[in-house]
Structure 1
Amino acid sequence: MSYPDTYYRRTMTDTTVRPALSGQTECDTVIVGGGLAGLTTGLQLARAGVSVVVLEAESVGFGASGRNGGFVSAGFATDNSAIARVAGNEAAKKIHRLSVEGVEFVRDTIRDLNIADANPQPGIISALRYDGGDSLRQYADEMNRDYGSELEFMDRDQVRAVLKSPRYFQALRSQKSFHMHPLNYLRAVAAEIERLGGRIYENSAAADCRLTSAEKIVRTAAGQVKARRVVLTTGGYTGHLVGKLKRSFLPIATYVMISEEDPELIARAIATSCAIGDNRRAGDYYRVVDGGKRLLWGGRITTRAASPAALARELRHEMVGTYPQLAELKTELAWSGLMSYARHLMPQIGEMMPGVWHCTAFGGHGLNTTAIGGKVVAEGILGQSERYRLFQPFGLVWAGGIAGLAAAQLTYWKLQAQDWWRERAA
């Protein structure tokens, strides 16, 4: 199956087509899933000289890893206080530092592999849709003190000088964060794995497996892999290969669109090269791309994917509601992707049984957190660290199945209503 038609596919520079698995092969570690978590794990293992096979059901970067907003910024989908309530204060601080490390890991990988086509751009602005400057400034002070975050507080006038909308109040700007072309990054990481001796098979969905014995076997339609270890990193596109994993998170659809070229019109609304996200649950996130010529806009979540036309209407409604001056900006393309969300809104990382690892549920966490998840799994396999154990409090708990999806949708609508009321009162 080919890539979905997205802006990233249209601007993908590495068009390598990889073979499907045929016959039997062996390796030390087989990784199921060719997204960011799987490829990062594979990269770190291959760098250590471990023989690696990656099985991808479609094409490298096909899923949410290759068609998201491209944000690389420290933090998680849930806040530090919620993490601390479950894991404890010290563990919460270590977990946050992992996400900070993830930003630097992605940045270093771009530099070390010379991934110019990832086109990293500095700066992410996190903006409030209501007046809350005092609490935001306090938060910035705490993050700068505890983690060296170097967050810059922006008052309302500073915000509206670059985001020309009455919907925004205060904001934080992080110059340590950046945004990039995620698919070009993934394709380059895949090429490096292969340069180091790893093997990647596309159109090779894992259909069956035997995981309980010392020798693990993963079968596809036309072949099988024998390995000492298996790493499962399939995210929102996880099938029924391992029921415990499938039941532990919900596949949630999110949406992105790209505008036509109109740099002059876009500049009337957005006068910054920073990426922007707001403080609502599943709120808007967007950035100018192609040197300011186009606007990439994402947001909204549903428990099942909508049609491209319907999602374009939803996203345009959000964009024009924020920036009425962009009413004439035409949408050129819209797409969706499935992310995996655990009930506790944290990544699920660890060893579910001897020699069987999982690294998933990265919905809403950002590219850096997905990457550091793969890195700590590789460290665990190599015996370099046990940092993956920091995520033990956030295990493979049942996500509720169909009832969980319904509850997630109702919760999202409730949060949308709360956001609307809070903005109206601002």
Structure 2
Amino acid sequence: MSSAYIDTYYSRTAATSETYPAAAGRIEADVCIIGGGLAGLTVALKLARSGRKVVLLEAQRVAWGASGRNGGFVSAGYATGLSSIQRRVGKDQAKEFFCLSMEGVEIVRRTIGELGIADAKLVPGIAKALRYDSRGALQAACESQQREFGLNLRYLDRDEVRSLFVSPKYQEAILDEGAFHFHPLNYGRALAREAARLGAAIHESSAVTSIDLEGARKTIRTNDAAIAAEHVVFTTGGYTGAVLPALKRAFLPIATYVLLTEYAPERVQSAIRTRAAILDDRRAGDYYRLVDDGSRILWGGRITTRTTDPRDIAALLRREMVTTYPQLADLKVEIAWSGLMAYARHLMPQIGQLEPGVWYCTAFGGHGMNTTAIGGTVISEGITGESERYRLFAPFGLTWNGGVLGRAAAQLTYWSYQAADAAKELRSR
């Protein structure tokens, strides 16, 4: 019996209910993928299309973790800024990274179109909104990215911002009309269906218990199966187990929280008068969007290094929502949930080859869904010999996460971001 999805907006509105059997017996494969989130499913689909014999193992359900619980944002860029990437790898390689992130957006968009995933409910537009006056810097950044990358961006001044987001908090914004938001669980399940249709063997409730990576054929074991494969791809995230210590030590599991409001279309649209999603530009900020044809708000935010849920998830997030939109003071929360993301200390995805035949594709926390598509694509290309684009990520490898001290540092950094954000807002009043 497959594990149940946790209760979220996405699980409540999942378009289909198919399950996949647990792995059993001895299985031969070209490639074994460990982890059934969006990155692993992208690998499985691309390799199945190339004729490879693929086995995918998922400990719970397809897209059970962060892939099926997130905000559903798909936009270019990474959790860290372009200037930070430039300092690490130089201007030319940083530009290559950004272009790859733009490609990731188009991979997701194209896949939705090719597979006819109407239930992905793609809605165009993501606005990055500021709570302070950048004194021309935001508009200059908008124009620079338009020139350099051809992004479909539009600068919104204070009057236009407040006509769309009826809040006293926001000062200005950039609307990315080429970005979009969607239903990630329905998208993930559609990837699984298509990969399975093309011959990939997908197995739920199949946690990996041990691995043997020696030799040309690797052995991956679950409670009831032994899979032999030439290549093993680790696409696990914040719920990664200990079977590959080098991977588990390389990122931090970070919790984030999401709520869904009650059905109240008139009240919701009195505050948010756009179908574009909103990404608060604060490093410690919020992200939210309208769902169900504008009748509810899906609001995410706050991160912690604790891996257990606080009792007051809904109250914590609701406070942020009402502080931003006082007119929503009486709007009730219907459900709230959390999920663990994988964050690397360098704030970039971890994509590459650990040793011949052993690949990793993880640490997508904070980047949006474009990076799962990038990672799955370049790892697949590396396995088939189509390209070596995965090597671009070598400067951002499996850096040690710092252990307990790393978690403490991450939490302190988050609190420092909150303080810096608050100071900027005060100066703009």
Residues 308 and 335 of structure 1 are in contact (CA less than 8 Å); yes or no, is this contact kept in structure 2? Answer: no
Asked if 1:196 corresponds to 2:198, the answer is: yes
- Name 1:166's counterpart in structure 2: 168
- Distance in 2 (CA, whole Å) between partners of 1:414 and 1:306 is 22
- Name 1:380's counterpart in structure 2: 382
Shift of 1:87: 1.3
Residues 290 and 297 of structure 2 are in contact (CA less than 8 Å); yes or no, is this contact kept in structure 1? Answer: yes
- Name 1:113's counterpart in structure 2: 115
**SS of the residue aligned with 2:306?**
coil
- Distance in 1 (CA, whole Å) between partners of 2:214 and 2:122 is 42
Asked if 1:157 corresponds to 2:171, the answer is: no
Equivalent residue for 2:38, pick from 36, 39, 59: 36
- Distance in 1 (CA, whole Å) between partners of 2:410 and 2:416 is 10
- Distance in 2 (CA, whole Å) between partners of 1:411 and 1:149 is 31
**SS of the residue aligned with 2:144?**
helix
- Name 1:290's counterpart in structure 2: 292
- Name 2:395's counterpart in structure 1: 393
Q: Which segments of 5 or more consecutive residues in structure 2 lack a partner in the other structure?
A: none
Shift of 1:22: 1.1
Which stretch of structure 1 is more off in the superposition, 95-104 or 131-140? Answer: 131-140
Q: For each residue in 1:264-301, what CA deviation from the matched residue of structure 2 results, as whole angstroms up to 9, or x when unmatched?
A: 00011000000001111131100000001111000000
**SS of the residue aligned with 1:237?**
coil
- Aligned pair in 2 of structure 1 residues 263, 188: CA closer, same or farther (>3 Å)? same
Shift of 1:309: 4.2
**SS of the residue aligned with 1:140?**
helix
| Segments ≥4 residues shifted beyond 6 Å | none
Asked if 1:100 corresponds to 2:102, the answer is: yes
- Aligned pair in 2 of structure 1 residues 269, 59: CA closer, same or farther (>3 Å)? same
Equivalent residue for 1:205, pick from 191, 204, 207: 207
Asked if 1:146 corresponds to 2:148, the answer is: yes
Q: Which segments of 5 or more consecutive residues in structure 1 lack a partner in the other structure?
A: none
- Name 1:184's counterpart in structure 2: 186
**Aligned AA (2:130):** L
Shift of 1:308: 6.3
Shift of 1:307: 3.3
- Distance in 2 (CA, whole Å) between partners of 1:78 and 1:181 is 24
Asked if 1:233 corresponds to 2:235, the answer is: yes
- Distance in 2 (CA, whole Å) between partners of 1:27 and 1:262 is 50
**Aligned AA (1:278):** D
- Distance in 2 (CA, whole Å) between partners of 1:402 and 1:14 is 40
Percent identity, aligned pairs only, is 58
Shift of 1:17: 1.3
Superposition pairs of residues 10-25 of structure 1, within 5 angstroms: 10-25=12-27
Residues 253 and 307 of structure 2 are in contact (CA less than 8 Å); yes or no, is this contact kept in structure 1? Answer: no
Shift of 1:305: 3.8
**Aligned AA (2:280):** D
- Distance in 1 (CA, whole Å) between partners of 2:309 and 2:50 is 44
**Aligned AA (1:142):** S
**SS of the residue aligned with 2:334?**
strand
Q: How many residues align?
A: 426
Shift of 1:133: 4.6
- Distance in 1 (CA, whole Å) between partners of 2:290 and 2:344 is 31
**Aligned AA (1:107):** R
- Distance in 2 (CA, whole Å) between partners of 1:195 and 1:133 is 54
- Distance in 1 (CA, whole Å) between partners of 2:419 and 2:297 is 27
- Distance in 2 (CA, whole Å) between partners of 1:381 and 1:66 is 26
Q: For each residue in 1:57-88, what CA deviation from the matched residue of structure 2 results, as whole angstroms up to 9, or x when unmatched?
A: 00001000111000000000000111111111
- Name 2:244's counterpart in structure 1: 242
Shift of 1:304: 1.4
- Distance in 1 (CA, whole Å) between partners of 2:18 and 2:122 is 22
Residues 126 and 278 of structure 1 are in contact (CA less than 8 Å); yes or no, is this contact kept in structure 2? Answer: yes
Q: For each residue in 1:387-426, what CA deviation from the matched residue of structure 2 results, as whole angstroms up to 9, or x when unmatched?
A: 1111000011101011111111111111111111111221
- Distance in 2 (CA, whole Å) between partners of 1:131 and 1:145 is 23
Q: With structure 1 as the length reference, what TM-score do the two structures score?
A: 0.99
